[in-house]
A and B are shown apart, each in its own frame.
Chain A
Amino acid sequence: GDQVEQSPSALSLHEGTDSALRCNFTTTMRSVQWFRQNSRGSLISLFYLASGTKENGRLKSAFDSKERRYSTLHIRDAQLEDSGTYFCAAEATGGNNKLTFGQGTVLSVIP
């Protein structure tokens, strides 16, 4: 089946630093969505992209518009409240709206 490979699986960042998460797809995807799961378990949508890039505050996401085989999530000036588990999820072309999730990145921001 369609595979979503997310990296890294875990990441520790000092406050104020920048980093990026990445998802590679084994097949062409129609769209990608990034989520953060908070300590209560709620999946909060960060970005939905069918192509190109989107930015919201210190977060920016990109979806490779040409081959549609990867997406990135950039975190700038990391803050303590950014800690959590981040998931990417992608919808395959012709995939009937079903999302396939990556395994997640556990992000810890430390003072």
Chain B
Amino acid sequence: NAGVIQTPRHKVTGKGQEATLWCEPISGHSAVFWYRQTIVQGLEFLTYFRNQAPIDDSGMPKERFSAQMPNQSHSTLKIQSTQPQDSAVYLCASSFTGSDYTFGSGTRLLVI
């Protein structure tokens, strides 16, 4: 069990560029979550999939952010036209039951 795998570990993008973050949940886990961590805001919920279907995206910024889960083995978080305020650690978690999360190591995104 390799745990939740997130790639890349670090990403630097120029302002206005697109960034795609990848998450591979633990095999057999049907729930996948995305969170964002910053010094100022702490850990914030972004979005949630269950059995690949979007369940709750109430934390996603309405513009420029989108998430997908095309199959049970991976989810992507895409940020279009990145801005410096998007700089954060983006964390993916999966769960078998929907509770009791296992987090990945995160992707540290820096927009310059």
A residues contacting B by CB (< 8 A) are: 30-31, 33, 35, 40-43, 45, 48, 50, 87, 89, 91, 96-104
B71 at the interface (CB under 8 A from A): no
Contact between B99 and A43, CB atoms less than 8 A apart: no
Return 8 A-B CB contacts under 8 Å, by A number.
A42-B105, A43-B106, A45-B103, A96-B55, A96-B56, A97-B33, A100-B45, A104-B42
Q: A residues within 8 A CB of B44?
A: 101
Task: Check B100–A101 contact: CB distance below 8 A.
Answer: no
On whether the beta carbons of A48 and B99 are closer than 8 Å, the reply is: yes
Do B45 and A99 touch (CB < 8 A)?
yes
> Which B residues lie at the A interface, using CB under 8 A?
31, 33, 35, 42-45, 48, 50, 55-56, 89, 91, 93, 95, 98-103, 105-106, 108
Does B43 lie within 8 Å of A89, measured CB to CB?
Answer: yes
Contact present for B99 and A101 (CB under 8 Å) = no
- B45–A97 touching, CB < 8 Å: no
Q: Write out the residue numbers on chain A whose beta carbons fall within 8 Å of the beta carbon of B31.
A: 97
Nearest-neighbour CB distance to chain A for B38, whole angstroms, equals 12
